[in-house]
Copies of this chain bind each other. A is one copy, B any other.
């Protein structure tokens, strides 16, 4: 027997379900349940909303709040026991299960002491890392070792063996991890393997993918790269920031995002991986962008300057190293609070998924000059 109300999603709109509970219907619902079935009209309006309703909420994670706790992990657990020492971000809208920072994206702050190396593994989840502080960090992806510095962006694509460490001469390092673990679990496609040797050898010259693939308008001749992720694994900050400055000289940029560039796979011009993309944007001094909303989930890190973003009518003030999220189909606009310095936001997102599946849309805010009123 079906219990509870079944007509709570009624809408009095032609073309929508609008069926009031009756005794006969409730009997019917009970009968269906016994056969692992139900009546569509009892749930139709709920499962076919007029527009996306994200289960995530906008959140700002302040670095000054998290950093002490991240460092505290150094003493509380060893890499051997913990696997990785990471404080992950948990979107309060999502419940505990997903371990999602926003949408189906996972993110965390990982910390390592000089001389430590995490064991090597691989998984279906794709990963990115964005370096926050410290000297001497490195990563090894399928034998390609890369030293990492602040604001460097590095990939560990799905299926690649990867391990991270900090050299003996280095300092304690903190970086942001971003993975699509929640998506892999949701899609029931997640595999995990520990490297048989626990550590993998460095089999290529250090920084070789950067040197061979990280050159403007050029690619190594005769190289038939057929993997479905970028052969360029590391995107260094210096040329990235330079690119923003160059583009700012010759273009107005986007009304919604200022000077805005996507990190790309140089072998295709497309996103760096099939399930996650990443972008960098510069807000010029005093710039206040217009609001739009997009199908897709975004996680931002301020990597230069300070300002605020208005997300779904709520203001979030950020400064260097703060992280915040924008859930799907929520209006967002950004403000650089400095009159003299630019502000830069790194972000990663699931737009490659939305684009592959032909689901991407965006919409500018039409009212109020394109700016959201800030809700109390």
Tell yes or no: A202 within 8 A of B by CB: no
- Report if A335 contacts B (CB, 8 A): no
Residue of B nearest to A120 (CB): B15
Number of copies of chain A assembled together: 4
* One of B119, B191, B235 near A15 (C-beta < 8 A): B119
Which listed residue, B50, B89, B359, touches A187 by the CB 8 Å rule? B359
Shortest distance between the CB of A207 and any CB in chain B (Å): 7
A201 in the interface (beta carbon within 8 A): no
**Complex contacts, A114 vs chain B, CB 8 Å:** none
- Comparing A28-36, A301-309, A367-375, the segment that makes contact with chain B is A28-36
> B49, B89, B90, B220: which contacts A247 (Cβ < 8 A)?
B220
**B-chain residues with CB within 8 Å of residue A240 when the two chains form the complex:** 215, 217-218
What sequence of 0s and 1s flags, for each residue 210-225 of chain A, a beta carbon within 8 Å of any chain B beta carbon?
A: 0111111111111000
Interface residue total, chain A, C-beta cutoff 8 A: 139
A126 smallest CB distance to B (angstroms): 9
Chain-B contact segment, one of A134-142, A165-173, A262-270, A313-321:
A262-270
- Pick the contact of A61: B35, B254, B263, B361 (CB < 8 A): B35
Q: Which residues of B contact A92 (CB under 8 A)?
A: 36
Given contacts A40-B108, A188-B328, A189-B359, A76 and B24 within 8 Å (CB-CB): yes
Which residues does chain B contribute within 8 Å of A88, judged by CB atoms?
37-40, 43
Closest CB of chain B to A59's CB: distance in Å? Answer: 6
What residue in chain B is nearest A102 (Cβ atoms)? B188
**CB of A99 closer than 8 Å to a CB of B:** yes
Given known A188-B327, A274-B357, A359-B189, contact A17–B83 (CB-CB < 8 A): yes
A51 at the interface (CB under 8 A from B): yes
Q: Is A53 part of the contact surface with B, judged by Cβ < 8 Å?
A: yes
Give the residues in chain B near A261, CB-CB below 8 Å: 215, 218-221
Q: How far is the CB of A227 from chain B (nearest CB, A)?
A: 9
Taking the nearest CB of chain B, how far is it from the CB of A350, in angstroms? 8
Cα–Cα distance between A219 and B232 once the two chains are bound (Å) = 14
Any chain B CB within 8 A of the CB of A106? yes
Q: What are 15 A-B pairs at a CB distance below 8 A? A: A15-B198, A28-B72, A32-B87, A36-B90, A37-B66, A39-B77, A40-B83, A40-B87, A41-B86, A104-B186, A188-B328, A217-B264, A218-B261, A219-B269, A221-B257
Given contacts A38-B88, A187-B354, 14 further A-B contacts (CB under 8 A): A14-B194, A15-B195, A41-B85, A48-B190, A49-B192, A51-B192, A52-B189, A52-B190, A158-B359, A215-B246, A218-B235, A218-B243, A218-B262, A221-B279
Q: Nearest 8 A-B pairs (CB), nearest first?
A: A215-B243, A15-B194, A188-B328, A40-B86, A208-B250, A221-B260, A205-B250, A41-B82
